[in-house]
């Protein structure tokens, strides 16, 4: 009868543990990368919709308004569905960071929409940087989680 603690058995157990650790690290890294890509894409969809609200909605031309709105809905839906299909893991605290980043980004979005009613600024020198600013909280929420 062989002793389960002999050196060959112990080596096999250590190798199996090492393989599991490497697999876990790969899955974790894949999850972090997926979070960053998802947050960036979602932020860009929101930013592009803000630019659509600024430049297309005031035209009162129904077809472009519908296209911008449908494009936004498809962008949000596609990014969320793809993220949920691709994601293999979620890092610790991801949901809290994501909700915080999304809340701040959407608050900035709504401030931008309110500004369209309050001011007559239509220059891209203002709106493009503001739209980029809308994406920052979402991206930062994902990147911060990758530094742990």
Among 9-13, 68-72, 118-122, where is mean pLDDT lowest? 9-13
**Mean pLDDT value across residues 35-46:** 94
- Does residue 38 lie within any of the structural domains? yes
Where in the sequence is the domain holding 84, given as residue range(s)?
33-146
Give the separation between CA 94 and CA 144, rounded to whole angstroms: 10
| pLDDT (tens digit per residue) in 46-76 | 999 999 999 999 988 999 999 999 999 999 9
- Does residue 7 lie within any of the structural domains? no
Number of structural domains in the chain: 1
- Does residue 128 lie within any of the structural domains? yes
**Mean pLDDT value across residues 99-113:** 96
- Does residue 27 lie within any of the structural domains? no
pLDDT on residue 28: 60
Length of the chain equals 148
Q: At residue 95, does pLDDT exceed 90?
A: no
Torsion angle of alpha carbons 4, 8, 10, 16, nearest 10°?
Answer: -120
The DSSP code sequence of 64-84 is HHHHHHHHHHHHHHHHHHHHH
């Amino acid at each position: 009868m062989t002793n389960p603690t002999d050196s060959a058995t112990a080596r096999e157990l250590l190798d199996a543990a090492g393989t599991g650790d490497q697999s876990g690290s790969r899955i974790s890294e894949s999850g972090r990368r997926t979070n960053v890509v998802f947050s960036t894409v979602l932020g860009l969809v929101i930013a592009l919709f803000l630019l659509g609200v600024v430049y297309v909605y005031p035209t009162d031309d129904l077809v472009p308004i519908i296209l911008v709105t449908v494009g936004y809905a498809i962008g949000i839906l596609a990014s969320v569905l793809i993220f949920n299909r691709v994601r293999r893991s979620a890092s610790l605290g991801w949901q809290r960071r994501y909700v915080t980043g999304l809340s701040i980004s959407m608050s900035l979005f709504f401030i931008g929409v309110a500004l369209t009613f309050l001011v007559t600024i239509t220059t891209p020198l203002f709106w493009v940087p503001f739209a980029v600013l809308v994406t920052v909280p979402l991206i930062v929420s994902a990147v911060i989680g990758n530094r742990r």
